[in-house]
Structure 1
Amino acid sequence: MIKTLRDTIAVLYRRFRNSLTTDDEVTISRRYVAASNYAAGTVNNLIGANFLTGFLLLLNADDSFMGLVTMAGFVGNLLQILSPLLLERFQSRKRMLIFSRAIIHFFNIVVISLIPVLPCANPVKLMLILVIILLVNLINAVTAPGFTVWHIKSIPDNVRAKYFSTFNVMNGVIIYTVVLAASKIADDFKASGNEMRGLLVLRALALILSIVDIYFLFKIKEFPNQSSGTKVNLANILLNPFKEKKYLITVTIACLWSYSANIPGPYFNMYMLKDMDVSYSFLNIINMFNIPALIFLAPLWRKRVNSTSWFKVLYQSMGLYLLHYIGLSFVTKGSLFLYPVSVIYAFMIAPGINLVFGNIPFINIPEKDQTIYIGFYSSMNNLAALLGVLTGKEFIRATEGKTMALAGITMYNKQYVLLLTATAMLISVILIYYLQKISQENVKASAAEQNKPLSQVLDCEGN
């Protein structure tokens, strides 16, 4: 299997290198965008998710602190709405953005990795980590819209569905293969009583990949940024998005997902690692099933988008996806089989959601001053996600020590918070259904005003 994987990677690499000498600069740049994102995504998975949860649990983090860590990321990113005040001052932003990414990698990987060896108590170490996570997300907030606008210029409208579908498949294959190998490393160290050392080894690997990320960022072409000519100020940043009613519908739809999907927070992962005492390998072996799901089902979801619309695929896939939360809520030591069943089911549906969210920030977006609108979109989504995390955190706090019996199973709050999540997502699905109806009516009116065929406007505006 390893030899086959190695041969496959070698073939893909040769094709990648050959294509760089024959394709136009936009296509070449698009491949570098993908390569950078593959590296950055792998870095985030080596230092985040289950590995970050395990890292913090070794420093005796409790439920409340884990909630704060999740919230810190969203609080920091709320400032994305103000990023145009900095970014719009520069016609060329590439070097500044790359420098910011390097700073983020340094603090996220190197500085946090050094904290466990500091001669201070665990509560102090945890507080330092929380401060760094907040700092990293503040830096990200200022620069993230710039990355988005920079990279999307290498991904024209006519190739986005295919690009995001292919990217999601390859990204899943790369990340889950690396994470599975990393899980084996972490479990081996854990078995010998050196779990923290194992997690630090993974962080060293992440540091190497962060250098790869920076290398590919330098290769991506920077195209000119379009501006309306209006001076960017605080009033424009805060008020202009509210003048774009079609884009407000896009933002609202995205926020409904962000709120409901973030209610579970990190609590179910804590339940699996701490209460159920499962290994990293168990969790990530199950995650490997995401690879065939992506390979075989992502193209089907892409066809669904092409035959219907982005928003329709979103509410349909969300309606199916919420069922997996119900399945996970019934996972106990006696019903552990429900975990792989529910997660694999979710993997079958998730490509539809991920495909839509690859493009949704650009649905109905005005052509000029896009940094303003991307910053607004990101800030509102982070606010919605923060409210979701806060809802979950307060729910966990209010129900601490309380159990609930359902279908003969005694559930703890880290389980039945998923039932709350499923309910919130169902309400979101209903609201998105009606919002996309309104969006469709707006598109019909726009087509009539522009004297364009409805299909042409639908293609441009994603409905």
Structure 2
Amino acid sequence: MMNFRPSEDLSEKDVSRGLKLVIAEGMATESMVVFTGGAFLVAMAVHMGASNFQLGVLAALPTFSSIFQLVSIWLVQRFKNRRAIAVLSNFFARFPLIVIGLLPILFTAGTSIKVLIFLLFFHYYPGSIAGASWNSWMKDMVPAKQLGAYFSHRSRLTQSLNVILSLFVALSLDYLKARHPEYMMSAYSGMFLIGGGFGLLSVFLLSRTPEPATAMVNDSIFKLLKKPLKDKNFRSLLTFNSLWAFSLNLATPFFSVYMMKTIGLPLSYIIALGIVCQISSILSIKMWGRYSDRYSNKTIINICAPVYVICILSWAFVGMASSMVTTLVMLGLINIVTGFSTAGANLAISNISIKLAPKEEAIVYLTVKNISIAVFSTIAPMTGGLLADFFASHQLTGGFSWSGGGHTSILNFMDLQGWNFFFIIGGLFAMLSLRVLGRVKEFGEVDKDKAVVYIRKDIKRTFSREVKRAGLIGSPAFSSGLVRKMRQLFHTYP
């Protein structure tokens, strides 16, 4: 029988082994997510005839279930064994995926959208309990000075895998839809079975990962929950996180729906655009991890978040493009900048919470943060789904007209309707949340403008050094140097 008992003192070798296992576990979990979530889950729900509200519920489920992370605090306090809690909770979270995959095989009626939502709730619920334990576990195991570099490396690898799997699955589904549309539900069911298998593999890898002993305070849960709220600095972070989560989840869950229903893009195009975003993120996240360790997480948020807000607002003007080619070019540019900005913003937002949480009460602080985010992230897409039909019948236009010589020319600079209203509102709320971020204090914080100057000089210096080392830009040596640098992006974490 496997021993889940935490270790009082992990050796350097144990920590190194644990860090590698967490990366492998992340790869398996990412494979599960690709097959059972994201754009593929939206496509499956649309295929099953889901309403806008039901699409909003599906988008809200992962965050809504985070409310139940309170159970994780009680379990960790009671048993002081985060690995056992995370492993067992994740084990039970994977079975609903397999049940969803088996339903069309066992019953001719197949799976209805209501049954899908019901089963996915019991997938996300125990998964949220595992997530709270995992966050506290990782804070104690990952060295604080390597936090940004380590998780940026892990994200880069999981995103690379996401790109490969997503492209393969998207092309397969588009081929099947064109040649054998009657087998689409069977294909989605098979994806859930494969995803469930990868999920169980991630549980096995997690069970092999060592855990340092925790020293959690034994107060009542209600007393513990008050501590993060009394911490003025962490309370400011909670306010920022809540507003940011609301603004993003009001708009971003419907990007795929917008491209699918309004623009009419095939699934492979949507996945290809997502891959462009992922590649942009992969190529930049190592840089953001290094800079977040050097200049602070808050500095990186102040640099990246405003850029992402511009990306959200830009979605409102995609529908105004004069041709499909122009639309695709605009979507491509938005996704490139989105990947670059979210790589830094998401990494820094996650890491600043871990950094500001006291070691002895990390699980409490992080759980309160996750619950506050869950509440606002749940309200946002459900609100968006309910209001979708209202905005579908309303339109806001603006422009100039020029008359002369018997001709009238009209130049429209604004044509908002349907989902576009959500993108504008979401962007405005995101801008509001950034004002709250100014009240958050982080040790080692560097002024944003100074950091931008440093980062720009660092990039120029690195580029110049490579050019001088290789000689002329067009030389074979320079080309081989670029190839070497690209390979280094995927080096194994030491």
State TM-score, norm by structure 2: 0.77
Counterparts in 2 of 1:82 and 1:211: CA distance versus 1, 3 Å: closer
Question: Bigger shift: 54-63 or 407-416?
Answer: 407-416
Q: Which residue of 1 aligns with 2:297?
A: 310
Counterparts in 2 of 1:307 and 1:87: CA distance versus 1, 3 Å: closer
Shift of 1:69: 2.0
- Percent identity between the aligned chains? 16
1:267 to 238, 250, 254: 254
Q: Which residue of 1 aligns with 2:421?
A: 416
Shift of 1:324: 1.2
Q: Given the alignment of the two structures, is residue 183 of structure 1 paired with residue 183 of structure 2, yes or no?
A: no
- Native 8 Å contact 1:314 1:356 kept in 2: yes
Shift of 1:199: 2.2
Task: Work out the CA distance in 2 between the residues paired with 1:315 and 1:209.
Answer: 36
- Structure 2: which amino acid aligns with 1:418? F
- Structure 2: which amino acid aligns with 1:52? L
- Native 8 Å contact 2:239 2:436 kept in 1: no
**CA RMSD across the alignment:** 2.5
Shift of 1:171: 1.5
- Native 8 Å contact 1:260 1:425 kept in 2: yes
Q: Which residue of 2 aligns with 1:449?
A: none
Alignment of 1:200-279 (within 5 A): 200-228=189-217, 230-231=218-219, 233-264=220-251, 266-279=253-266
Alignment of 1:7-18 (within 5 A): none
**Structure 1 SS opposite 2:206:** helix
- Native 8 Å contact 2:93 2:127 kept in 1: yes
- Native 8 Å contact 1:82 1:375 kept in 2: no
Q: Given the alignment of the two structures, is residue 79 of structure 1 paired with residue 39 of structure 2, yes or no?
A: no
State TM-score, norm by structure 1: 0.82
What does the per-residue CA deviation read over 1:136-180, in whole Å, with 9 as the maximum and x for residues that have no partner? 332233332112112332211011111122122112111111111
- Structure 2: which amino acid aligns with 1:240? K
Shift of 1:128: 1.6
- Native 8 Å contact 1:146 1:371 kept in 2: yes
- Native 8 Å contact 2:295 2:444 kept in 1: no
- Native 8 Å contact 2:300 2:344 kept in 1: yes
Question: Bigger shift: 65-74 or 342-351?
Answer: 65-74
Q: Given the alignment of the two structures, is residue 404 of structure 1 paired with residue 396 of structure 2, yes or no?
A: yes
Q: Given the alignment of the two structures, is residue 387 of structure 1 paired with residue 391 of structure 2, yes or no?
A: no
Alignment of 1:275-290 (within 5 A): 275-290=262-277
Shift of 1:97: 2.3
1:58 to 47, 67, 78: 47
Shift of 1:296: 3.3
1:367 to 355, 359, 363: 359
**Structure 1 SS opposite 2:394:** coil
Q: Which residue of 1 aligns with 2:306?
A: 319
- Native 8 Å contact 2:27 2:161 kept in 1: yes
Counterparts in 2 of 1:101 and 1:72: CA distance versus 1, 3 Å: same
Task: Work out the CA distance in 2 between the residues paired with 1:331 and 1:207.
Answer: 36
**Structure 2 SS opposite 1:266:** helix
- Structure 1: which amino acid aligns with 2:163? Y
Question: Bigger shift: 72-81 or 25-34?
Answer: 72-81
Counterparts in 2 of 1:292 and 1:435: CA distance versus 1, 3 Å: same
**Structure 1 SS opposite 2:132:** helix
Question: Bigger shift: 127-136 or 289-298?
Answer: 289-298
Shift of 1:402: 1.9
Task: Work out the CA distance in 2 between the residues paired with 1:294 and 1:73.
Answer: 22
Task: Work out the CA distance in 2 between the residues paired with 1:418 and 1:42.
Answer: 29
Question: Bigger shift: 182-191 or 131-140?
Answer: 131-140
Task: Work out the CA distance in 1 between the residues paired with 2:25 and 2:19.
Answer: 10
What does the per-residue CA deviation read over 1:178-227, in whole Å, with 9 as the maximum and x for residues that have no partner? 11111111111111213223323322332332232122112210210112
- Structure 2: which amino acid aligns with 1:429? L
- Native 8 Å contact 1:27 1:154 kept in 2: no
Task: Work out the CA distance in 1 between the residues paired with 2:443 and 2:138.
Answer: 31
Q: Which residue of 2 aligns with 1:357?
A: 349
Counterparts in 2 of 1:29 and 1:285: CA distance versus 1, 3 Å: same
What does the per-residue CA deviation read over 1:108-145, in whole Å, with 9 as the maximum and x for residues that have no partner? x21222445645597xx222222222233322333321
Query: How many matched pairs?
Result: 414
- Structure 2: which amino acid aligns with 1:185? S
Task: Work out the CA distance in 2 between the residues paired with 1:268 and 1:292.
Answer: 18
Q: Unaligned regions of 5+ residues in structure 1, if any?
A: 1-21, 444-463
Q: Which residue of 1 aligns with 2:484?
A: none
Q: Which residue of 2 aligns with 1:426?
A: 431
Task: Work out the CA distance in 2 between the residues paired with 1:391 and 1:190.
Answer: 32
Q: Which residue of 1 aligns with 2:469?
A: none
- Native 8 Å contact 1:250 1:364 kept in 2: no
- Native 8 Å contact 2:76 2:85 kept in 1: no
Shift of 1:359: 1.1
Q: Given the alignment of the two structures, is residue 128 of structure 1 paired with residue 115 of structure 2, yes or no?
A: yes
When Rg is computed on C-alpha atoms for both structures, the one with the higher figure is 2
Q: Which residue of 1 aligns with 2:56?
A: 67
- Native 8 Å contact 2:63 2:375 kept in 1: yes
What does the per-residue CA deviation read over 1:224-268, in whole Å, with 9 as the maximum and x for residues that have no partner? 01123x34x232243222232232233223223212111115333
Q: Which residue of 1 aligns with 2:480?
A: none
Counterparts in 2 of 1:121 and 1:196: CA distance versus 1, 3 Å: closer
Shift of 1:416: 2.7
**Structure 1 SS opposite 2:55:** helix
Shift of 1:398: 3.2
